[in-house]
Every structure is written in structure tokens, then in C-alpha cells.
Amino acid sequence: MTVTAPTLHPGSRAMIIVHRAFRRETRVLGELIAAVAPGDVRRARVLADFLDQYRAGLHVHHTGEDELFWPPLLARVDLDADIVLRMEEQHRHVAATLEEVAARTAAWRDGASAAARDALVTALARHRAALVEHLDDEERHLLPLAERHLTDEEWASTGEHFIEHTPKLQALLFLGLVLEDADDDERALMLGGMPAPARFLWKAIGRRRYANHVRRIRHDDAPSRLGTALAVVLGGFITYIGLAYLVAPGANAPSFGLPAWPHGDAAAFLTVKGVRDLASGLITFTLLARREHRALGWTFLAMAAVPLGDMLTVLGNHGSTGAALGIHGLTALAVAATGALLVRSTRRR
């Protein structure tokens, strides 16, 4: 029951678009969780994390209505007060089903047993039934009432409340959820009500992050475990080399493989190498921490040019062939192979 007639108030239209996302995600989550094999803890944690985000988003959405919609409506309606009171009661019921979902999620997250999975699917189905019943009732009876009694500022207040009480990156995720099934007019409505900086943020990083979210959640596009492990090892190795050149540049310079190295004031060039390697390590761990495995893969493929260039520099200056091939050459190969593994395992669908 989601009909967006052109005569609806923009606030009602926006609310219906948001509701559509909640309906879809509860259905999709139930299907995805039911398909997780017993013992697949990695997949269970991915879906459990998103289920936690969904619960947080729905809680903020309903809290905004509780605090900003129901009080002014109750103050202005008379015979229709029962509709608002029914909404309040439905919110309490939906919140109770969310608490059960939270408990079942915690029981399933770390063990991923079949019994815990099935209990979570059942709890999520109960939650979805309560939620859909509430959303249908709200769209059929509450929104027409709100159109007659709420000001434009009051309509806008719930969106402002959501943004204020939601971490920015998580807000971008929910914007992606809301826009996923929106048509051109609906997208214009939702984005048009946002400040220009927020629209820029969505276009700059929000769309890409949401595409990554969809691949991870719905397609189980997990990064290669081997590629991730190699990235950790290589990131640790290059960080260590960078620190070593910053702390004791002269002691580490001979291992590079060149027949001679800078001394005196010219030894500052060794510090430059230390900064370069340390920065490479920090970039690696930053992308790992952000779970940007695909971006890390492409970064590694590009960064393979650094040890490759080092190898050619050593060979071109009559340095140690063993160091050129055994250190720099193998490092270039390892970095490129790790990048290829990460890109391949997180390929776009």
C-alpha cells in the first residue's frame, strides 16, 4: 500500500518513500539471513552489523515522529485523536519486536548456528508484520491528518531530527536505501530538500559507498581472505621499513642495494624514503580499517610501481642484483598480486 499521488503534500510523499525502504530492507534481510549456512560466522557478522544499523535508523525515525509529530497533532485534533494514539501504540509494539530482533541477532552473530539463525528469521518476520501493519495504517489514516494540521516547518523537522541523531556516514547509507527504488521525481524531492553540502557529499562519496554496501550485503562480495592477510603483512612490513629509515637511516641504507648512498647533509634523502614508506603503510591500514578493500586493491596495483622502480634504479646503477630482484622485485610482485586478489574478489556486479 504505497501510492504516491501528485496531490500529496511533499512531506507525505517523502514519508512514503522512506517507508518503502523499510519495507524492502526487512524483507531482503529476512531472505538473506535465512540463506546463511550454519557456521558461516563471517557472513553472519556482516548481516548482523547491517541489521544493527537498520534497527538504529528505524528507532531514530520513530523517535522523531514521537517527539515532533504526535504532540502537535494531539494538540490540534479532536475526534481524530484516536488515530494519533493508535500510532503511538503501534510504535511501542514495533519497538518491542525490535528488542526481540536485537536479542536474536546477538545470539546468532558469533556462532551462526542454524537454530539461532532460524530464531532470528522468525523474530524478524514478526517485526516486519508489525512494521508493515503500522506503515500501512500511517499512510492511509495519519498522513492525511498530518497534511491538514502540520506546518511545513513541522514536516521538515523529522528529517532534521534524523540527520542530527545519525552519524554522517550512516546517514548516507540510509539515503542510499531511500533512493534505491525512487523514480526521478522522488529523487528530486528527496535530494532537493537537502543542503547543498549534503548533496555534494552524497554525489562525492555516498553513491559509491552505497554501491559497496549493496555488493557486501546482498551479493556476499567478500574480500579475499588471502589478499587481506597479505595486505596486513605488507602494510606492516613497509611501515617497519619506513620507521627504520626515519630512526636509523645510515644503518638501513646498505640493504637497499645501491653501490653508494648519501652521506652528510645529503643523507636527508634517506629520510624522504622513510616518510614515503611510512605513508604507504598508513594508507594501507587506513583503507583496511575503512573496509575499502576494492580501493585498497587498486591502490596496491598502483603502488607496485614503487618497488618496481626501486628495482630498476638499483640495476641501472650497478647495484646488488640480489637486492634488486630478491627484495624490490619480489616486493613489487607481492604488492601487485595482493592488489589483484583484492580487486578480483570485490569485482563489481
Where the chain has pLDDT below 50, the residues are 1, 3-6, 348-349
CA distance 68 to 70: 6
Which of helix, strand or coil describes residue 282?
helix
pLDDT of residue 208: 87
86 and 194 fall within a common domain = yes
Domain shared by 124 and 153, yes or no: yes
User: Could you give the number of structural domains in the chain?
Assistant: 2
Q: What is the pLDDT of residue 344?
A: 83
- pLDDT on residue 222: 61
Identify the burial level of 343 via C-beta atoms within 10 angstroms of its C-beta, where 0-12 means exposed, 13-18 middle and 19 or more buried. Answer: buried
Question: Does 318 map to a domain?
Answer: yes
Burial label, 175 (beta-carbon count in 10 A; 0-12, 13-18, 19+): buried
Do 102 and 189 reside in the same domain of the chain? yes
pLDDT, one tens digit per residue, over 207-228 is 988 988 888 898 765 667 888 8
**Same-domain check for residues 208 and 241:** no
155 and 25 part of one domain: yes
Full residue range of the structural domain in which residue 298 is found: 225-345
Task: Quote the pLDDT of residue 347.
Answer: 63
The residue out of 218, 235, 264 marking a domain boundary is 218
**Residue at a domain's end among 199, 218, 237:** 218
pTM value? Answer: 0.67
HSE, side-chain direction, 13 A CA sphere, residue 210: 18
pLDDT in tens, 124-153: 999 999 999 999 999 999 999 999 999 999
Question: What is the helix (H) or strand (E) element at residue 129, kind and residue range?
Answer: helix 114-137
Write down which residue in 218, 249, 281 finishes a domain. Answer: 218
Question: Comparing C-alpha atoms, which of 175, 182, 164, 224 is closest to residue 16?
Answer: 182
Domain membership flag for residue 195: yes
Within-domain flag for 1: no
Tell me the C-alpha to C-alpha distance, in Å, between residue 104 and each of 35, 100, 112: 16, 6, 11
Question: Is residue 5 situated within a structural domain?
Answer: no
Q: In terms of domains, do 211 and 124 share one?
A: yes
Count of C-beta atoms within a 10 Å radius of residue 26: 20
Q: Are residues 211 and 241 in the same domain?
A: no
